[in-house]
């Protein structure tokens, strides 16, 4: 590794959580159907494991539920202002996603919505003017609801061709401007959060694992076909794959705890990336499928596509680590999953345990396993911020969090891990994808809105904004070639 290698520092949003603009020509997507529910023990589950009845209710204009993703944080209206803030921060890189249903409302149209095209034209133009590199996610937990109703979400193989049509338009229109491409956000979430990840509705008996893994297979094929198409078009950017990463620890040195860790880690963390990065189904999948009575339809053409169109880099979201045990133990929340509590770690108000050393450990494990450049495509602290009468936000807790994780990222780079970029999640406050609320804020830019969509949506700089701005400035000074 060259000594001059530097980390690109960035920020991220997702279309469904940020843009809003639902009353325009945009079609209804899966996130638009998730209601806000006051926090209870099962509120998060109810908003991410939707049934057909919940979809029908969401489509009913007379519904009394509040659907926060239809507002996002009104990025559609505040775009220019927000990008000015990104430029002031000195961001090297901005990660955002394209709303499939903003371009193709049902997902099946031949021609895109011109209003959607005009919006994204503006996004790309402003970023180019500010010389901010682009990390583009094509599918971030949102697909047109029409495809869910028509084909059963990604369970239907038809979604591959519709997605490829969407991707082809994005490539033709903006492909020359993108540095990093990501076909699917946190693709392994399709396993533990099937509605968000693969657009599956929850049936009376829950989810059928064969449907979940068939849907994931269709996403694998769609990712490979997307990469294949981009390479045929000679697009300048590189393509990655992304998983939610959890850095598993056994609770004790009990051999059974460690053995369970191996199996949990294989299917929850490595399975999807093994296929997308190595190009073939891993050995352990066959046994898992057999034990769970999972039968998949996989063609020889699929296998050839996967083998020949693997990713160029590996990206991870990392917020917290997970503890595994065969025994009963206290539980805590995590990124769309539940874990055993780690007695050595502090946690956020939402139960996510803070583990910067776990990030460094994970970066080593990921690079050792795949041997490809690594990007931290999501990291941040969800916390309750208070706006003072003087429009200030004193978020020392977020600054402390960022310092600790960024230090470990730089140490991993010094260790020899080729870490290309580190992207702060929710750089401007967005609706939480996990809990559908505004109270859980990640940004260094505050948005004046509450859980029910009330507020001015005005933007204010948090103390962490000034810290991150100085951090990036000083990093660049210290790492000039």
DSSP states along 255-280? HHHHHHHHHHHIIIIIHHHHHHHHSS
Owning domain of residue 138: 8-479
Residue 1 lies in a domain: no
H/E stretch holding 303 reads: helix 300-308
pLDDT at 3 over 50: no
Contacts of 28 (CB under 8 A, 6+ apart): 58, 59, 101, 105, 144, 145, 146
pLDDT digits (tens, 9 = 90+) for 54-74: 999 999 988 889 999 999 999
pLDDT digits (tens, 9 = 90+) for 361-379: 999 999 999 999 999 999 9
CATH of the domain at 66: 3.20.20.80
pTM for the model: 0.96
Average pLDDT, the chain: 95
pLDDT band, residue 20 (cuts 50/70/90): very high
Q: Give the separation between CA 136 and CA 177, rounded to whole angstroms.
A: 10
pLDDT band, residue 43 (cuts 50/70/90): low
| 122 vs 49, residue with greater confidence | 122
Inter-axis angle of helices 396-415 and 463-478, nearest 10:
20
Q: Which of 378, 389, 407, 437 is catalytic?
A: 378
Residue 331 lies in a domain: yes
The answer to whether 339 and 265 have CB atoms below 8 angstroms apart is: no
Task: Please compute the mean of the pLDDT values over residues 220-231 and round it to a whole number.
Answer: 98
Place of tokens 């589950």: 45
Q: Give the separation between CA 15 and CA 335, rounded to whole angstroms.
A: 19
Residue 3 lies in a domain: no
- The CA-atom distances, in angstroms, between 110 and each of 118, 163, 168 are 17, 12, 11
pLDDT at 88 over 50: yes
Q: Nearest-CA neighbor of 438 among 426, 424, 423?
A: 426
Residue 314 lies in a domain: yes
User: Is 378 a residue of the active site?
Assistant: yes
pLDDT digits (tens, 9 = 90+) for 293-319: 999 999 999 999 999 999 999 999 999
Q: How many domains does the chain have?
A: 1
Residue 239 lies in a domain: yes
Q: What six digits make up the tokens of 106?
A: 């049902």
pLDDT at 42 over 60: no
The answer to whether 358 and 247 have CB atoms below 8 angstroms apart is: yes
What single-letter DSSP state applies at residue 36?
P
Task: Please compute the mean of the pLDDT values over residues 398-423 and round it to a whole number.
Answer: 98
Residue 2 lies in a domain: no
Backbone angles phi, psi at 255, to 5 degrees: -55, -35
pLDDT band, residue 2 (cuts 50/70/90): very low
């Amino acid at each position: 590794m060259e000594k001059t290698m530097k980390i690109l520092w960035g920020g991220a949003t997702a279309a469904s959580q940020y843009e809003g603009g639902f009353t325009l020509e945009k079609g209804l997507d899966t996130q638009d159907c998730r209601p806000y529910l006051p926090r209870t023990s099962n509120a998060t589950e109810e908003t991410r494991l939707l049934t057909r009845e919940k979809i029908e209710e969401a489509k009913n204009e007379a519904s009394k539920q509040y659907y926060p993703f239809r507002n996002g944080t009104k990025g559609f209206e505040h775009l220019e202002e927000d990008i000015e803030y990104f430029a002031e921060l000195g961001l090297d890189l901005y990660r955002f996603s394209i709303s499939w249903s903003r371009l193709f409302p049902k997902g099946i149209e031949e021609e895109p919505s011109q209003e959607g095209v005009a919006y994204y034209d503006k996004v790309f133009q402003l970023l180019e003017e500010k010389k901010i590199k682009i990390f583009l996610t094509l599918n971030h937990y949102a697909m047109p609801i029409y495809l869910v109703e028509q084909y059963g979400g990604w369970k239907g193989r038809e979604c591959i061709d519709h997605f490829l049509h969407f991707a082809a338009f994005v490539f033709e229109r903006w492909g020359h401007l993108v540095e990093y491409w990501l076909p699917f956000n946190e693709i392994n979430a399709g396993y533990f959060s099937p509605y968000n990840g693969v657009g599956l509705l929850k049936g009376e008996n829950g989810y059928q694992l064969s449907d979940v893994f068939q849907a994931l297979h269709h996403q694998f094929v769609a990712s490979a076909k997307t990469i294949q198409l981009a390479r045929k078009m000679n697009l300048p950017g590189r393509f990655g794959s992304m998983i939610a990463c959890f850095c598993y620890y056994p609770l004790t040195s009990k051999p059974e705890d460690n053995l369970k860790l191996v199996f949990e880690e294989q299917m929850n963390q490595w399975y999807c990336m093994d296929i997308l990065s190595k190009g073939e189904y891993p050995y352990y999948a066959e046994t898992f499928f057999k034990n769970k009575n999972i039968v998949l339809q996989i063609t020889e053409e699929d296998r050839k596509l996967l083998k020949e169109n693997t990713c160029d880099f590996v990206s991870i979201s990392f917020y917290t680590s997970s503890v595994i045990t065969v025994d009963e133990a206290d539980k805590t929340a995590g990124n769309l999953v539940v874990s055993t509590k780690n007695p050595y770690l502090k946690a956020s108000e939402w139960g996510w345990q803070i583990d910067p050393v776990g990030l460094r450990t994970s970066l080593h494990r990921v690079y050792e396993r795949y041997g490809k450049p690594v990007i931290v495509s999501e990291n941040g602290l969800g916390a309750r911020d208070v706006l003072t009468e003087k429009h200030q936000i004193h978020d020392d807790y977020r600054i402390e969090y960022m310092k600790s994780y960024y230090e470990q990222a730089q140490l991993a780079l010094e260790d020899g891990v080729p870490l290309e970029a580190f992207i702060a999640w929710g750089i401007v406050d967005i609706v939480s994808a996990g809990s559908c609320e505004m109270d859980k804020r990640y940004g260094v830019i505050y948005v004046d809105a509450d859980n029910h969509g009330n507020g001015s949506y005005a933007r204010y700089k948090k103390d962490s904004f000034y810290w991150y701005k100085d951090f990036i400035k000083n990093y660049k000074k210290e790492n000039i070639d």
